[in-house]
Structure 1
Amino acid sequence: MTAAPGFTFVDLFAGIGGFHAALTAMGGTCVFASEIDRHAAAVYERNWSMDPLCDIVDATTDRMDVPEHDVLAAGFPCQPFSKSGFQRGMDEARGTLFWNILRVLEERRPAVVLLENVRNIAGPRHRHEWEVIIASLRELGYQVSSQPAVFSPHLLPPERGGRPQIRERVFIVATLAGSEAAKIDPLPVVTRGPVDSWDPQSWSLEQHLPLTAESEVDGRERYALNGDEVEWINAWDDFVATLRRDGVRQLPGFPVWADHFTPLDHLRIPVGTPDWKKNFLHKNALLYTTHRQAIDEWLSRWNGLAHFPASRRKLEWQAKDAPSLWETVMHFRPSGIRAKQPTYTPALVAITQTSILGAHKRRLTPREAARLQGLPEDFTFGEQREALTYKQLGNGVNVAVAYHVLREQVLRDRDVIAQNAAGLVAAVDAAPLNPDVALEKEEVLAELGRPGARTPVALAG
C-alpha cells in the first residue's frame, strides 16, 4: 500500500521561517518551531500562525518539548566547541546550542536532518567544529557526508525556484540509517554547480526577480540614494570612463585605492606589511604610473576625493565589461564601493549593506529582498523597522535551496527513508520541482479565507 504524501517537521533556530516555507511547499506540516529572537519570532507567528518563542528543552525539568517528527530542520548557530582530550563527538558538543539539536535527535530519531550554516563552518578555522558535528551525527546512527554540501540560489534555474542571488551556504543533510550504515561516507547530496545546464550569467534582476516598477515602489524616497552617495558613484563612474578613454579595455579586478596612487619608482612599502597588501599597493602604483596623466586629471576634477570618507576612496570593480558604474549592482562596504554585473546580487547580509541598483539609483526594497529569499508575495513583516527586516532576511535560508537540497537527499536515500517516513518519500514524489508553485497555491487559499492562512499585507516595493 502506497503511503499518502505528507510528513511532519520541526523548525529549530527558525528565524522568520525560510525552512517552514520550503518544507510546507513540499507537503510537510510543522509540529514545532523554536526561535529565541523576539522580533523574528513575531514575524514567524504572523506568517505561519505558530509562536516559536519557546525552548527546545525545558530548563527547569530537562524535559524534551519537541514532539515526534520526520524531518528536523535547523539554521543552527556555529559555536566553538571544547576540545576535551581526543573526543570528537557528542561529549564535546555539550553546553553548546548544537547540543540541543543532538538531544532532539537522540530522543525523537527523525528520518532526515537538514542543517544549514554559513560557508565558513566548513573552512579551516572551524575544522574542529565540523569534525564534532559529523562525528556526533554518526554516533546517533545518521549517515552523513564528511564533505560539505555547498549550494547557492543562483545555481538553480528559474523553473526550479532559483533566484538571482549568489548566496553560498553549507548544508549538512543526514539520513537515519543505523550504526553500520553511518560508517559509510557518502558524497555530498548536491554539488557546487549549476543545475539542468543553467547558465547563471543568464539571470536578469529586471526579469527574474522581478524588480518592482519604479512607479509602484511605495515610499521610494526611503530607498533612494542621497546626495553624497550619488556624488561618490559619479566620481568613480568618471574614473571608469577615464580609464576606458585611456585605452583600458578590462578594468582592474584588484581593489583600487585612490589614497595609494603613487609613481612606481616612489613606492615605499613599510616593513611588516602583509603580502596581500604589498601586492595591492604594487598594482595600484603600476596602474597610476601607466595612466598617470589621465588619473591626475580625474583626481583634479574631484578635488582629490579629499571630502570623501576613506572607505569611499576605494573601488572594487567586479562588473567585467559593464559600460558604467550606474549600470551595475553596488554595495557600500568598509573595503570600498563594490560593483558587480546586474545579473545576480551579492548575498543578502544581516548588516546595513543592502544592494544598490545603479540603474534605478536606489537600494533593494524589503519586498525585493524577500523575493531574493524565495518568500511568497504575501509574506509580511508587519510594522517593524525596515533595518530589522533586512537583518532577518540576511540571516534567513533561501526557500528554493532548502527545498532542492532536501528533495535531492530524499530521492537519493528513498529506500532507507521510506522505512521510517514513507509519507516523506511520497510527498517528494508528488511535489512540483518549483516551490513557488506550491506557495502560490497557499496564497490562493489565503485569499479564499483558509483558516490559519497568512493574510496578505502590503510590504514596500
Structure 2
Amino acid sequence: MTFRFADLFAGIGGFHAALSHAGGECVYVSEIDAKARRAYSQNWLEGALPGDFKLNGDITKATTSNEGLDTDLPDDIDVLTAGFPCQPFSKSGFQRGMEEIRGTLFWDIARILKDRRPKLILLENVRNLVGPQHKHEWEVIIATLHRLGYKVSSTPTVLSPHLIHPADGGTPQVRDRVFILGTLVQGRVDDPALVPPTLADWQPKAWDPQDWRIDWILDDDREIENLEAYRMSEEQHRWVSFWDSLIQDLPWWKPVNVARAVDGVDRGARRLPGFPLWAEYWRDAYLSLGEEDFADDPPWKRSFILKNIDFYRKNRAVIRPWRTSSDYALLPMSRRKLEWQAQWETSLWDTIMHFRPSGIRAKRATYFPALVAINQTSVIGSRKRVITPHEAARLQGLGRDFSFPSEQRDSDSYRQVGNGVCVGAAWTVLVEHVRRDEELLPPSLGRAILDRADANCNPSRGSVVIPEESETGPTAMSA
C-alpha cells in the first residue's frame, strides 16, 4: 500500500480506477444510489479490503454531529476524491447552485476536510460551474478550500478526454469538466489568485482530436449479446433513410477548396449548411416573405427561418418533390428538423446521430458528444444501432473488463455512465498537480503517482484499442 484514499459521490468508480492505477488503497466509498453502489462494489471492492474500510450510502449522515465536524471516515486518508453533484450547476438543470439542497453537499466535503485533513483533494464538476451564472459559487468553493489550508488555484482547470492522447488515457468523447485540486499546506497558504492552474505547464503528447475513430471503443457486433435490443427501430431507420435521400440529391453547392482536400477529394464540396434545417419552411408560400413577416419571432429564430427560406429557394427543384412526398407526411414534427454538425460528411449513415426534441442531430463519427445522465444515446450510423452501455463505459475510460450487474436495466447503466468521471482526464490532472506540488506531498504519495506516470502506463485498461493497420498510434491502449 502506497497511499489511502476516500471516494465520495463515487458513482461507478472513475476516480477509483485512476487512483488504484497508482497503487492507492481505497478505505472509504460513499454513493447514495444503491444501483451505482452495486456496480461499484462488483468492479472494485471484491476481495480483501482494509479492516477500517467503510461503504456509505448517504454522506450527509456521515458528517452530522452537534458541532457538524465529526465524520465516520477512517483516519489517515491521503487523498479525497469527489465528483460532487453537478445538477445544481448543469445547463440541463435549473442552475440554482448552492440555493438547491444538492448544492449544499459541498459543505459535507468541507466538514470532512476540516476533520480528516487529507493531503490532496481532487474534485470534479460540470464546465458550467465556472460559467458566469455561478461565479459566486465558484468563489465560495475556492475561498472555503483556501481557508481550510489547501493550496488551490482560482483559475479553473478544464479538460476533455478527447484532447488527451489515447496512450495516456484519452477517449473519443468531448466532455469538458472542471477539476478542483488542492494540496494541504502547513503554515501560510498562497493566495488562490497567485496559484497557477494545474494544467499551466501541461505538455500533452501531440494529438489531433480529428484522428479519433469511434470504432476504437466499439465491440464487434457479432460479440454483442442481445444485439437486436440496440438496433435502430424501423421508424428511426425510415426517418434517416428519407433525410439521406435528400442529402444525396442536393447539388454540389460549394466550390472546390483545395485547402480542405483529403486524398485528393474536396470534403467540403458537399457540405450542408451549419444552421438547423427546418423543412416546415420549405414551401412555395414562404418564398415571397421577408424579415418583416417574422418580426414577432426572436432574432435567432427569425435568422434561421430566413436562411431556410433562402436554402429552399436555391434548391427548390430537388427539395419540392421530397417535401411534398407521402414519406414526408409521416415524419413527426421533431423529425422535420435536421441539425447538421457533420461538416464534410456526405451521408447520415456515416455520422453519429441523436434523436432530439429539436430534431435529428448529426455529427462526424470521430468522437462522441458528452455522455449525459438523461437518455440521449448516440446512434452509430454505420452500425445502425445505439452505443451499448459497455461501450459507453469505455468512453469514460473504464476497461473492457468493466461490467454492470447482470440484472440491471440498460437505462440505469447509461445514467450511471453519464454521471461518471472520465478516468483519463482525472488521471491527467492528478499527475500534473502532483508534479507541481510534489515537494509539499508525502514522498510515498507523490512517487507512487509519478512513477506510474513516468512509466507511460495507461490508466484506462484497454478501453481504446487501435487496429494494427492504423498508423495513428500503438495497437492496444492498455494499462
Q: What band does the TM-score fall into relative to the shorter chain?
A: 0.7 to 0.9
Q: CA 1:112/1:308 → structure 2, altered by over 3 Å: closer, same or farther? A: same
Mapping for residues 354-433 of structure 1, pairs under 5 Å = 354-382=377-405, 383-417=407-441, 421-432=442-453
2: CA distance between counterparts of 1:148 and 1:302?
53
Q: Which residue of 1 aligns with 2:235?
A: 228
Q: CA 1:193/1:403 → structure 2, altered by over 3 Å: closer, same or farther? A: closer
Q: Which residue of 1 aligns with 2:249?
A: 242
Q: Which residue of 2 aligns with 1:457?
A: none
Q: Which residue of 1 aligns with 2:213?
A: 204
Mapping for residues 75-154 of structure 1, pairs under 5 Å = 75-78=83-86, 96-154=104-162
Q: Which residue of 2 aligns with 1:254?
A: 275
Q: Which residue of 2 aligns with 1:443?
A: none
1: CA distance between counterparts of 2:102 and 2:317?
63
1: CA distance between counterparts of 2:335 and 2:201?
33
Could you tell me how far 1:43 is from its partner in structure 2? Answer: 1.1
Asked if the contact 2:88/2:103 (under 8 Å) is kept, the reply is no
1: CA distance between counterparts of 2:44 and 2:85?
22
2: CA distance between counterparts of 1:335 and 1:360?
23
2: CA distance between counterparts of 1:408 and 1:289?
54
Could you tell me how far 1:16 is from its partner in structure 2? Answer: 1.0
2: CA distance between counterparts of 1:80 and 1:118?
10
Asked if the contact 1:223/1:365 (under 8 Å) is kept, the reply is yes
- For the pair 1:43 / 2:39, whether they are aligned, the reply is yes
Provide, for residues 225-280 of structure 1, a one-character-per-residue CA deviation record: whole Å limited to 9, x for no partner: 11100011111112221224566732111111112235453145544422222221
1: CA distance between counterparts of 2:133 and 2:234?
41
Q: CA 1:164/1:35 → structure 2, altered by over 3 Å: closer, same or farther? A: same
Q: CA 1:437/1:19 → structure 2, altered by over 3 Å: closer, same or farther? A: closer
Asked if the contact 1:45/1:51 (under 8 Å) is kept, the reply is no
Asked if the contact 1:15/1:392 (under 8 Å) is kept, the reply is yes
SS class of match (2:43): helix
Q: CA 1:93/1:435 → structure 2, altered by over 3 Å: closer, same or farther? A: farther
Greater Cα offset, 186-195 or 237-246: 186-195
Could you tell me how far 1:203 is from its partner in structure 2? Answer: 0.7
Q: Which of the pair has the greater relative contact order for Cα pairs under 8 Å at 6+ separation? A: 1
2: CA distance between counterparts of 1:35 and 1:438?
22
Q: CA 1:95/1:226 → structure 2, altered by over 3 Å: closer, same or farther? A: closer
Q: Residue type matched to 1:386 in 2?
A: D
Q: CA 1:437/1:22 → structure 2, altered by over 3 Å: closer, same or farther? A: closer
Asked if the contact 1:149/1:192 (under 8 Å) is kept, the reply is no
1: CA distance between counterparts of 2:243 and 2:457?
41
> 187, 195, 211: which is aligned to 2:196?
187
Q: How many aligned residue pairs are there?
A: 422
Q: CA 1:346/1:135 → structure 2, altered by over 3 Å: closer, same or farther? A: same
Asked if the contact 2:6/2:28 (under 8 Å) is kept, the reply is yes
SS class of match (2:190): helix
Q: Which residue of 1 aligns with 2:80?
A: 72
Asked if the contact 2:398/2:460 (under 8 Å) is kept, the reply is no
Asked if the contact 1:162/1:401 (under 8 Å) is kept, the reply is yes
Could you tell me how far 1:79 is from its partner in structure 2? Answer: 7.1
Could you tell me how far 1:438 is from its partner in structure 2? Answer: 7.9
Q: CA 1:412/1:230 → structure 2, altered by over 3 Å: closer, same or farther? A: same
What is the TM-score with the length of structure 1 in the denominator?
Answer: 0.85
Q: CA 1:272/1:135 → structure 2, altered by over 3 Å: closer, same or farther? A: farther
2: CA distance between counterparts of 1:94 and 1:386?
25
> 356, 359, 383: which is aligned to 1:336?
359
Structure 2: 5+ residue stretches without partners: 46-53, 90-97, 255-268, 463-479
Structure 1: 5+ residue stretches without partners: 82-89, 441-461
Q: Residue type matched to 2:238 in 1?
A: E
Q: CA 1:134/1:179 → structure 2, altered by over 3 Å: closer, same or farther? A: farther
Asked if the contact 1:259/1:313 (under 8 Å) is kept, the reply is yes
SS class of match (1:343): coil
Q: CA 1:193/1:384 → structure 2, altered by over 3 Å: closer, same or farther? A: same
1: CA distance between counterparts of 2:461 and 2:253?
52
Asked if the contact 1:331/1:356 (under 8 Å) is kept, the reply is yes
Q: Which residue of 2 aligns with 1:163?
A: 171
Greater Cα offset, 306-315 or 272-281: 272-281
Q: CA 1:402/1:339 → structure 2, altered by over 3 Å: closer, same or farther? A: same
- For the pair 1:275 / 2:299, whether they are aligned, the reply is yes
- For the pair 1:313 / 2:309, whether they are aligned, the reply is no
- For the pair 1:287 / 2:311, whether they are aligned, the reply is yes
Asked if the contact 1:26/1:435 (under 8 Å) is kept, the reply is no
Could you tell me how far 1:325 is from its partner in structure 2? Answer: 0.6
Q: Which residue of 2 aligns with 1:455?
A: none
2: CA distance between counterparts of 1:361 and 1:192?
42
Greater Cα offset, 361-370 or 234-243: 234-243
> 14, 17, 23: which is aligned to 1:18?
14
Q: CA 1:302/1:152 → structure 2, altered by over 3 Å: closer, same or farther? A: farther
What is the TM-score with the length of structure 2 in the denominator?
Answer: 0.82
Q: CA 1:269/1:120 → structure 2, altered by over 3 Å: closer, same or farther? A: farther
| Aligned Cα root-mean-square deviation (Å) | 2.7
Provide, for residues 308-333 of structure 1, a one-character-per-residue CA deviation record: whole Å limited to 9, x for no partner: 22221111111111121101111111
2: CA distance between counterparts of 1:94 and 1:106?
20
Q: CA 1:271/1:28 → structure 2, altered by over 3 Å: closer, same or farther? A: same
